[in-house]
Amino acid sequence: MDAAGTMPVHMLKLTKLTPLCDSVFRLDLQTVDAPMRYREGQFLSIRLPDGQLRSYSMASPDRGDGRIELHIRLLPGGQFSEWLRGTAKAGQVLQAYGPFGDCIWRTPSRATTRIVMLATGTGIAPVKALLEKALSQGVTQSISLYWGGSLESDLYQAGHFAALADQHENFTFIPVLTDADGSWQGRRGFVQAAAAEDHPHLADATVYACGSPLMVNAACELLTTTCGLAPDNFLADAFNPAAATSAPLSQAPDVQLDLAHPDGTRSAITVPADGSLMQALAGAHLMQGVCGGNASCGTCRITVATDWINRLAPPDRTERRLLAALDGTQPTDRLACQIPLQPELHGLIIRLQS
Ligand SMILES: Cc1cc2nc3c(=O)[nH]c(=O)nc-3n(C[C@H](O)[C@H](O)[C@H](O)COP(=O)(O)OP(=O)(O)OC[C@H]3O[C@@H](n4cnc5c(N)ncnc54)[C@H](O)[C@@H]3O)c2cc1C
Ligand code: FES
């Protein structure tokens, strides 16, 4: 069975590949079939020839015409990065799944007085889509964008955001560098620290944060504990590496999982009681946790047997939010990536959804 079987699939033609700086490429894609509709802040997952998936966030608002803009950092030795560097050409067609993700644009209520956006590196891609959506809607709340990098050359579209700040009175762009030389006149350090310094009271704010998992975790901790930000108003996508879907090598005792498949058949698998349930099911080629266990794609949703549901630790806020955002969620549905496999789960009965 193809683990990606029921995910929405799209064929995307690569129309243009443009270097944005030394290590980041812009990819312009066009859907070959019906346009893929998406919400600003969402991402898609490109299928590599060996079936692995890599996730990338749309960098511009959905225009409804099937055009998709991605910003991709080329990592040395990375599989998709090396393909882009060496083989990719305009005209090639890629297979992709999506859209996924619940870090999406929320039209601000009257109680929201400000919007703070944080990005590191290519985390600017979804933030750019969110910002352009907000500005096109004419929101009146103040919007502050903090974009962090190591050196000035990392902020490959700083000119674009500076120009938007000139055009929109309610929008401020704050570039923040960690390793700039003495000639840099701007902010230094980490984006979350700069935002906390400028906005010590965030009780009436919405914060979007995208990019490195370290930044996203540190920003959530700092802004909710010291600036009064409500956890539900912190929306984030951490760019976790795809390797997070692999099951860890383990000496842990085995557990048996009883599985009901979407075609009505049943089977059982025996896996080490280690890592997450998603990793075990991905290792058995029964699902693909597209976001790597980040609780942002929903592709690892399962239904737990009624007499097992209360034996699992309850879902946390992030899991509850994503489950609520998915279509047709049942009370016994869970995200397999959020369930740690433990010996007590021997005999767990679940129904797979894809
Ligand atoms: C929700 C989400 C959205 C994302 N959006 C974006 C985006 O918009 N833009 C973007 O640039 N990225 C984004 N990412 C990250 C992206 O999905 C990929 O992780 C990234 O592009 C690397 O893919 P790759 O195939 O080039 O590298 P991989 O093959 O995944 O390798 C990554 C790095 O690990 C090293 N590596 C690989 N295997 C090993 C090993 N066995 N031992 C040691 N090192 C190893 C490689 O050399 C490389 O440097 C996103 C991730 C998520 C989860
Ligand atoms: S793997 Fe993406 S939500 Fe679980």
Identify the nearest ligand to the CA of 216 by its number: 1
Q: What is the mean pLDDT of residues 327-341?
A: 95
Q: Residue 253: what pLDDT?
A: 87
Atom of ligand 1 nearest to the CA of 52: 25
Ligand 2 residue neighbourhood (C-beta within 6 Å) = 278, 289-291, 293-300, 335, 337
**40, 75, 217, best to mutate for ligand 1 pocket (most atoms within 8 Å of CB):** 75
Model confidence band, residue 6 (pLDDT cutoffs 50, 70, 90): low
Mean pLDDT lowest for which of 1-5, 38-42, 258-262?
A: 1-5
Query: Measured on CA atoms in the order 4, 10, 16, 22, is the torsion positive or negative?
Result: negative
Mean pLDDT lowest for which of 10-24, 77-91, 235-249?
A: 235-249
Atom of ligand 2 nearest to the CA of 322: 3
Average pLDDT value over all residues in the chain: 93
Ligand 2: centre distance to CA 316 (Å): 14
Query: Measured on CA atoms in the order 297, 28, 72, 54, is the torsion positive or negative?
Result: positive
Helix axes 124-137, 158-167, angle to 10 degrees: 20
Domains parsed from the chain with CATH numbers: 3-100 (2.40.30.10), 114-237 (3.40.50.80), 254-352 (3.10.20.30)
Output phi, psi for 204, to 5 deg.
Answer: -110, 30
Q: What is the mean pLDDT of residues 73-100?
A: 94
Ligand 1 site, residue 151, Cβ cutoff 6 A: no
Ligand 1 site, residue 56, Cβ cutoff 6 A: yes
- CA dihedral defined by 283, 289, 290, 295, rounded to 10 degrees? -150
Question: For residues 117 and 146, is the Cβ–Cβ distance under 8 A?
Answer: yes
Model confidence band, residue 241 (pLDDT cutoffs 50, 70, 90): confident
3-state secondary structure 319-337: HHHHHHHCCCCCCCEEEHH
| Tens digit of each residue's pLDDT (9 = 90 or more) over 135-191 | 999 999 999 999 999 999 999 999 999 999 999 999 999 999 999 999 999 999 999
pTM: 0.90
| Tens digit of each residue's pLDDT (9 = 90 or more) over 314-324 | 999 889 989 99
Ligand 1: centre distance to CA 242 (Å): 6
**What percent of the chain clears pLDDT 90, i.e. is strictly above it?**
85
**What percent of the chain clears pLDDT 70, i.e. is strictly above it?**
96
